[in-house]
Amino acid sequence: MKRKGTRILAATALVALPLVVGVVAVAQDAGGEDEATTSVSEMESQAQATLTKMRNARKYVQNLLEQARKDKDIIKITCLNDKLTQINVSIRTFEDRMVSLRTAIKTGDQEAISHEYNILSVLGEKVEGLRLEAEACIGEAEGYLGKTEVTVTTPPGEAEMDTTSWVDIGGDVTMRPPPASAAE
C-alpha cells in the first residue's frame, strides 16, 4: 500500500513541476532583471502596466468577437468566446492579486511580495498567450491569402468540355448497392 501512495505523490509532483518551474523562471526574468534588484515601487508600477496590457488584450479580443458575430462564423465565435472568458478570469484574478501585493507591501512581508509578484507575472504572460491564441482563432492564413481564384486552362488542340450542363444518357440508371452480408 505504501508504494501506491508514493506513486501517486510522484505523479502529482511531476504534473505540478512545470508550473513551479514556470513561476521560478518568471521570478528570475521579470523585465529582464532579477526580482531581488526590483524595488517594491517598480514591482507595483510594472504590475499596473501589465494590467493595462491585459485590459487592452481583452478589448482586442472583444473586437475580434464582434466581427465574428457580424460574419456569423460560429467556429470563430466559439473559439474567441472561450479565449475572452479565460482572459476575463485572469484579469479578475490579477486584480485580486494586486490587492494582495499591496497588502504585502504595507506589511513589509518580502516573501508574500515576491510570491504575489510572481503570480502577477505569470498571469500577464498567460493573457498574452491567450491573445495570440485568439488571433489563431480567426485564422492567420485568411489575412495573408485573401480570396482564392481558380483558373482552368485547356491544352491547345483539345476541346473544351462544358462542365456546367448535364448530359442525358437516356433512361433511368439505378445502381444497387452491394449486399451487406452473404445471405442476400
Half-sphere exposure in the Cβ direction for 39 (13 Å, CA) = 3
The pLDDT value given to residue 167? 65
Burial (CB < 10 A; 0-12, 13-18, 19+), residue 58, is buried
Average model confidence (pLDDT) for the chain?
A: 77
Percent of the chain with pLDDT over 70: 65
pLDDT digits (tens, 9 = 90+) for 61-93: 999 999 999 999 999 999 999 999 999 999 999
Residues 104, 113: contact at Cβ < 8 Å? yes
| Cα gap 167→164, rounded to integer Å | 10
Higher pLDDT, 108 or 173: 108
> Quick one: cell of 182?
452473404
**Type of residue at 142:** E
What angle is formed at CA 18 by the lines to CA 46 and CA 104, rounded to 5 degrees? 35
Prediction pTM value: 0.57
pLDDT digits (tens, 9 = 90+) for 125-180: 999 999 999 999 988 544 445 566 777 777 777 766 666 666 666 666 677 777 78
Task: Reply yes or no on whether the pLDDT at 12 is more than 70.
Answer: no
CA-nearest of 91, 109, 87, 90 to 100 is 109
> Quick one: cell of 133?
491564441
Task: Reply yes or no on whether the pLDDT at 2 is more than 90.
Answer: no
**What are the Cα distances from residue 23, in Å, to 4, 32, 99, 153, 155?**
29, 15, 19, 59, 63
